[in-house]
């Protein structure tokens, strides 16, 4: 379905790229998605194919194999098209590489680290993940208990992380660890590489939705991490580095949320037009018309705000508060839209074979990860001086 409101955030080059993304999804995702969902993990070939198609790490300089394009709108288009198509697990896998992990390797690495890691991340030969959350800490980053103790030219890393997306596939894991007792100035970020002794992956967690996303537990037992794998030149900057990158992560989730809502609405409109009850299309009943009118209006209004946030971020002007507003509002709306659209499908909506059932379960995590709705409201409330 065509955009209901003219969009001004993208130009002709962006729209040409959108066609590339759509073709990629049709060729590389759609034929394999159900298998990935059953296996509980997307195949690593997804990352390599995305790299070949130019869908990864757009700002990577040309000398490291990238396009050198620092325009976040290309990231947003990838997020939008996966969200609209309903392939949340595969989309999240790539969004982790582009929107969440990518900035740490692009912005916090020296030339030697860039040469080691950026070519593989950009080509899809290497898969990245970030390990913040621990069994005893959720949104409170200052409560991280994993430790890294300096020992000569290494740090000795000990701790456990959980709910780590791309956890099984990851070759490079950005780990937040405590290098001093200071709650905020005691965190440092390290890159732990596949195969380091003492680095073990726990089980691939069984989730309500996102079945194709390898969300995992990670364990670190006396892992000797070279000083050369520390991000930044000194200890204690990790908390501030994490906070700096969170607005982009939250905007990515908001972009995905509103696009997913648009996708499920379009498919539901088609369903209620074709499905009949009592001798007429179920979309012709006043309840159906009024509900869809409400949902389409809310999604249209949200799309305008999210597009504005994308424009601001592309110009380096997005604030943490605006990102928080976009994240909580769009993700809560995605959950509402999926729930109401499932209801319009009746009993068929509860069948896994119908895309609306998957849209419903995949939507639910959106209001939790990347910062819960409650944390987003706390950020906004504090900005109001409350």
Q: Which of 236, 268, 287 is the last residue of a domain?
A: 236
255/189 same-domain check: no
At 136 the pLDDT is 77
57-83: average pLDDT: 97
- At 345-368, the pLDDT tens digits run 999 999 999 999 999 999 999 999
Give residue 277's pLDDT: 85
Residue 4 domain-assigned (yes or no):
no
Q: What is the mean pLDDT of residues 188-204?
A: 97
- 1 part of a folded domain: no
| Range in 99-103, 154-158, 274-278, 379-383 with the lowest mean pLDDT | 274-278
Residue 283 lies in a domain: yes
245 and 225 housed in the same domain: no
Residue 195 has pLDDT above 80, yes or no: yes
pLDDT tens digits for range 314-341: 999 999 999 999 999 999 999 999 999 9
Phi/psi at 164 (5° precision): -95, 110
- 168 in Cβ contact with 201 (< 8 Å): yes
Domain assignment present for 57? yes
Residues 379 and 244 in one domain: yes
Residues 32, 88 within the same domain: yes
Q: Which residues pair with 219 in a beta bridge?
A: 160, 200
Are residue 231 and residue 298 in the same domain, yes or no?
no
The pLDDT of residue 304: 97
Residue 101, in any domain of the structure: yes
Confidence of residue 148 (pLDDT cuts 50, 70, 90): very high
Whether 175 contacts 206, CB under 8 Å: no
Tokens coding 148: 């890294």
Whether residues 116 and 204 fall in one domain: no
Whichever domain contains 285, its CATH number is 1.20.140.10
pLDDT exceeds cutoff 70 at 2: no
Same domain, 170 and 188: yes
- 82-116 pLDDT, tens per residue? 999 999 999 999 999 999 999 999 999 999 999 99
* Domain's final residue, options 205, 236, 267: 236
Q: Is 249 annotated in the active site?
A: yes
Q: Say whether both 136 and 183 belong to one domain.
A: yes
What residues form DSSP beta bridges with 190?
175, 230
- Looking at the structure, do residues 26 and 109 belong to the same domain, yes or no? yes
- Pair 252, 363 in one domain: yes
Q: How many domains does the chain have?
A: 3
What pLDDT, on a 0 to 100 scale, did the predictor assign at position 279? 86
The CATH number of residue 99's host domain is 1.10.540.10
Domain-located, residue 220: yes
DSSP code for 137: B
Q: Tokens 């869908």, residue?
A: 55
Q: Where does a domain end: 209, 236, 263?
A: 236
Tokens 């109401």 correspond to 340
327 occurs within a structural domain: yes
Residues 169 and 71 in one domain: no
Name, in order, each residue with C-beta under 8 angstroms of 196's C-beta and a sequence gap of 6 or more. 223, 224, 225
Averaged pLDDT, 258-287: 93
Q: Count Cβ atoms below 10 Å from residue 291 Cβ, excluding itself.
A: 18
Annotated catalytic residue, options 249, 270, 274, 378 = 249
- Percent of the chain at pLDDT exceeding 90: 89
Q: Which domain does 220 fall in, by range?
A: 130-236
pLDDT tens readout for residues 223-260: 999 999 999 878 889 989 999 999 999 999 999 999 99
CA dihedral 103, 106, 107, 109 (to 10 degrees): 130
Structure token digits, residue 279: 């001798």
Predicted local confidence at residue 386, as pLDDT: 87
**Would residue 90 count as lying in a domain?**
yes
Write b or e for each residue in 313-342: b if 16 or more Cβ atoms lie within 10 A of its Cβ, otherwise e: bbeeebebbbbbbbbbbbbbbbbbbbebbb
For residues 253 and 377, membership in a common domain is answered with: yes
* pLDDT > 70 fraction of the chain, expressed in percent and rounded: 99
């Amino acid at each position: 379905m065509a955009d209901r409101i003219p969009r001004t955030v993208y130009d002709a080059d962006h729209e040409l790229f959108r066609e590339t993304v759509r073709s990629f999804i049709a060729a590389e995702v759609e034929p394999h998605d159900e298998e990935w969902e059953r296996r509980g993990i997307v195949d690593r070939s997804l990352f390599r194919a995305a790299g070949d198609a130019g869908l990864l790490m757009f700002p990577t300089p040309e000398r490291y194999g990238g396009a050198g394009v620092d325009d976040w709108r290309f990231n947003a288009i990838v997020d939008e098209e996966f969200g609209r198509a309903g392939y949340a697990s595969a989309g999240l896998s790539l969004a982790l590489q582009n929107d969440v992990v990518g900035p740490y390797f692009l912005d916090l690495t020296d030339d030697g680290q860039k040469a080691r890691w950026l070519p593989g991340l950009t080509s899809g030969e290497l898969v990245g993940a970030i390990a913040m959350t621990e069994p005893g800490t959720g949104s409170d980053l200052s409560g991280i208990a994993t430790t890294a103790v300096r020992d000569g030219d290494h740090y000795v890393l000990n701790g456990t992380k959980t709910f780590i997306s791309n956890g099984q596939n990851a070759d490079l894991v950005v780990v937040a660890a405590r290098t001093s007792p200071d709650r905020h100035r005691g965190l440092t970020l390290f890159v732990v590489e596949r195969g380091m002794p003492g680095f073990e992956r726990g089980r691939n967690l069984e989730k309500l939705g996102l079945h194709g996303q390898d969300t995992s537990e990670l364990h670190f037992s006396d892992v000797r991490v070279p000083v050369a794998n520390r991000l930044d030149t000194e200890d204690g900057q990790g908390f501030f580095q994490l906070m700096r990158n969170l607005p982009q992560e939250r905007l990515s989730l908001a972009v995905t949320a509103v696009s997913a809502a648009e996708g499920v609405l379009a498919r539901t409109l088609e369903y209620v037009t074709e499905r009949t009850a009592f001798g007429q299309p179920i979309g012709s009943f006043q309840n159906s018309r009024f509900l869809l009118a409400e949902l389409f209006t809310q999604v249209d209004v949200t799309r305008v705000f999210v597009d504005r946030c994308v424009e601001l971020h592309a110009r380096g002007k997005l604030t943490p508060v605006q990102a928080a507003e976009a994240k909580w509002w769009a993700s809560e709306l995605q959950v509402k839209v999926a729930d109401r659209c499932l209801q319009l499908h009746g009993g068929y909506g509860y069948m896994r074979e119908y895309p609306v059932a998957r849209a419903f379960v995949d939507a639910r995590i959106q209001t939790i990860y990347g910062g819960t709705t409650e944390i987003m409201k706390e950020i906004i409330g504090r900005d109001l001086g409350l």
